[in-house]
Structure 1
Amino acid sequence: MTLAGLNISEVLELALLLIAVGTLSGFLAGLFGIGGGAILVPVFYECFRLAGVPLDVRMPLCVGTSLAVIIPTSISSYRAHHARGAIDKEILHTWWLPVLVGVITGSVIARYAPERLFKIVFVMVAYSAAVRMLSANENWKIGDDLPKGPLMRFFGLCVGLLATLMGVGGGLFANLLMTFYGRPIHQGVATSAAIAVLVSIPGALGYIYAGWPVAGHYPDVAALQAPLALGYVSLIGAILVMPTSLLTAPLGVRVAHALSKKTLERAYGTYLLIVGTRFAISLWNGG
């Protein structure tokens, strides 16, 4: 028996995998303030590869679905960090508009960009952040505190743009910037959770827009029916992952505040190295 070209057993396996991934992504959202996207995108990629989604739409479908899942996860993570008073509200006030402009720009680029661009951005940023975190070198600082004025707003624009192209909540970049300017990683994690809220909602809507005309190019491809895509957002992927990720985000927050600065940085760096390598291999193999 099949469903949209897939065996029922394969559909069940994918469903169980997505539920498990939701549990892990929610925990990571709270732990690292990243919205969980950096784990969701690689796993969605494998799921959609198994489902036979065409290569030239597979990566943007992963990114858009990840952003949709991040919405409730990031809100849950933000509320938990806010309750602890760990969020820098001045950064949020400065960044909200530049981040939004970056998200809109990224959504427009996603409509026309080749599939490889998403992977290249993912690998470059993940490796850069991993090196910074794993080096544990306190001298790796750009300045003693975050800049003011146009440069700070430019950073916000970059956070929104790169987050939208990677399918992450923006916490990866916000966290990296804040630690480069001497801010404690715990504060970076908490503020990143708030940035993820700013990125995920318009980002998901942007990917629905970006992928809207694509469905017409694959009207007879059963593989695109399996994820039930709305533009570049898979409804099945989002529905299966959201509930468990929402439940486990507060647990990640508690663990983050219990860990030492060094332990949290090393865990974060190792994780980024692993997911970056996954897409580096994919770029090398061309699949």
Structure 2
Amino acid sequence: MANIASPSDALFTAQPGNLTQPGTAAPAQAFRLTFWGVRGNIPAPGADTVRYGGNTSCVEVQVGGQQLIFDGGTGLRMLGRHLMAQEQPVAAHLFFTHTHWDRIQGFPFFAPAFAPATQLDIYGAQAFNGASIKQSLMDQMLRPNFFKPLQTMAAAMTFHNIAAGDAIALGDVLVEPWSLNRHTSALGYRVSWGDRVLAYATDTDPTQTSVDPNLLMLASGADVLIFDGTYADAAYSDPNGAGLVPWHLGIEVAQASQVKHLVLFHHNPCHTDDQLDQLERQVQASFAQASLAREGMTLDLISESVE
């Protein structure tokens, strides 16, 4: 597998993967990221999005024997199929950044949630309208939006209302939610295990004129920063996504926080594979240790302090 870290600091290995057969589960003493959905706002299937993928946000993290999932966009359906094919009970921790549709629309199609042997711990902040994470997920499954209510899910589900500043210990793994965006009540997450750190920051506030100090602390010293850097507010009014692109902010955060590798995520659904290839070249010209997320891509963080 190709090394994507600098030659002097081989912390990562990477492989493209494949959504239908993404490989075997990570060993217990591992820190592995797999991208199951990388688009923002709406799924973007089609011939010109095959290489990067068209599913909305979902990232699987296998770390320290724990199964973590960040966001439940349409990529969650594919992850669910993969987990069910392993023919063993699923026990996972599902963390939501916020409850915009592209982060939750895969949840009603997550097959393990309908299996009685599944154990799901589900985490999220109070939504901007005051709804708990459980209420937000229930609401999208009520008629006329969906044909099966959440109560038909047979899994053992425990809902956790969390907020920035909490610390969630899962064995040797520490998950810390951070406030990212006052407009959406979105959370970022910092995952620590041994001497390795993942920062997940995918709904930052693009209206700020300078880097949020809170974001710098979230990303500080991270081995990998997953950053919402390829979707500009201008794309809402311009179907081609023209205008300022906030990947510059991702580089600024990565450099200021001494991040080892930056992964840009939540791609504009209007951007084709060729456009994203061009964007990746632009980004890497400014920050060599950067890449754009692709569905099925895995990253292995090699820990030196956990045996």
TM-score clears 0.5: no
- TM-score, L = length of structure 1: 0.25
- Compare relative contact order (CA 8 Å, sep 6+) and give the higher one, 1 or 2: 1
If each structure's helix is expressed as a fraction of its own residues, which one has the higher value?
1
- TM-score, L = length of structure 2: 0.24
If each structure's strand is expressed as a fraction of its own residues, which one has the higher value?
2
